[in-house]
Structure 1
Amino acid sequence: MSTTKWTIDPTHSEVGFKVKHMMVTNVSGRFKDITASIENATEDFETAHISFSAQIESIDTGNTDRDAHLKGADFFDAAQFPSLNFTSTAIKALSDENYIVSGSLEINGTSKEIDLQVEISEEMKDPWGNTKIGLAIHGVINRKDFGLTWNAALETGGVLVSEEVKLIAEVQFVKN
């Protein structure tokens, strides 16, 4: 049996995050330069292998000063660690459309096992005959687990940046 390969359609995909700022609102960001693939030797998604990478220099929060700070040594240290990477290690079906994808997330040279909730759409043909699927992905990490420890205490109590980071992605893949 041949392997089915899927590659990300970056023009129809968004990979982002949200983090609480000053303990009152979420600030959102995204990565503009992303690559991802899915390889599967069977029709069963639980046997698939997923890999993903985002270039740190492509981070965009809508504020150039904040973006520069995030790319610097206080956070992602893009000069030393130019990308973050995810590789799946196990996939468990919860239903026909919902899965838990476990894998290794590497940020700043530190790898940790994480679980992501993934909802997969049915295969569809686009107007040009390409077969596509969509994945809605959600997860939560603690940024300190990856060495992203910079913070500032607030005079009123609490901290400037939450340790909890919500991962949010809507990605479209095309069958090769």
Structure 2
Amino acid sequence: MKKIVIASALFLASSLVGFAQTFKVDKAHSKLGFSVVHLSISDVEGSFKITDATLTSSKDDFSDASFALTADVNTVNTDNERRDGHLKSADFFDAAKFPTISFKSKSFTKVADRKYKLVGDLTMHGVTKAITLDATLNGTTKNRDGKKVAGFKVTGSLNRTAFGVGSMPAAMVGEEIELKASGEFIQE
């Protein structure tokens, strides 16, 4: 009898809390981009390939979501091979020593309809710091396989020198980096 009561209590608790849903990134429809000011006069844009990202949430509006993302530093692409090689070098990202950039969320707070504040730890160049980003739920739909798909856009900024990335003066390469990520996540 005691086992039945415990099992019933666990079932009731899980139905009240909801079941966490896990979503995996659709790499073909996701991107981690950045922009930095060059010579104080123009923007240089680039991107990294996302190697893995997950979204977990038990609520339909994703207000309790958690995110984790990993990107490959060796895939940096600014449409200039020489610059990309320099960015991979010890002068900037030091991809041989620090081959990944990762993010792990701490909170995802709804601030308006489809708008959220995403707070988490960003690890880059061997340094981990908390950052706050703006997130927008673009929407949800079903894919051809009938699986739920959620689309998000995330924007924000960070100071590259706080992560030890690049010793170039700000007049040559801006210290403030604008981030822009977009992703589709498919429910498992």
Same fold (TM over 0.5): yes
- Select the residue among 38, 41, 56 that pairs with 1:39: 56
Partners of 2:59 and 2:168 in 1: CA distance? 46
Partner of 1:77, secondary structure, is coil
Q: Which residue of 2 aligns with 1:29?
A: 46
Structure 1, unaligned runs of 5 or more: 153-157
Q: Which residue of 1 aligns with 2:187?
A: 175
For the aligned residue pairs, the C-alpha RMSD in angstroms reads 1.4
What is the deviation of 1:44?
Answer: 4.9
Amino acid at match of 2:19: S
Aligned residues of 1:69 and 1:75 also touching (Cα < 8 A): yes
Q: Which residue of 1 aligns with 2:12?
A: none
Partners of 1:173 and 1:48 in 2: CA distance? 12
Name the count of aligned residue pairs.
171
After TM superposition, which residue ranges in structure 1, 4 or more long, deviate above 4 angstroms? none
User: Normalising by the residue count of structure 2, what TM-score does the alignment of the two structures yield?
Assistant: 0.86
Query: Which segment drifts farther, 116-125 or 20-29?
Result: 116-125
User: Normalising by the residue count of structure 1, what TM-score does the alignment of the two structures yield?
Assistant: 0.92
Amino acid at match of 1:79: A
Aligned residues of 2:64 and 2:109 also touching (Cα < 8 A): no
Counterpart check, 1:119 vs 2:119: no
Which structure is higher in helix share?
2
Residues 71 and 115 (structure 1), Cα distance of their counterparts in 2 relative to 1, 3 Å cut: same
Q: Which residue of 2 aligns with 1:96?
A: 113
Aligned residues of 2:103 and 2:120 also touching (Cα < 8 A): yes
Structure 2, unaligned runs of 5 or more: 1-17
Q: Which residue of 2 aligns with 1:17?
A: 34
CA deviations 1:25-64 (Å, max 9, x no partner) are: 1000001243110112343523221000101011111011
Partners of 1:115 and 1:100 in 2: CA distance? 7
Identity of aligned residues (%): 33
Aligned residues of 2:50 and 2:69 also touching (Cα < 8 A): no
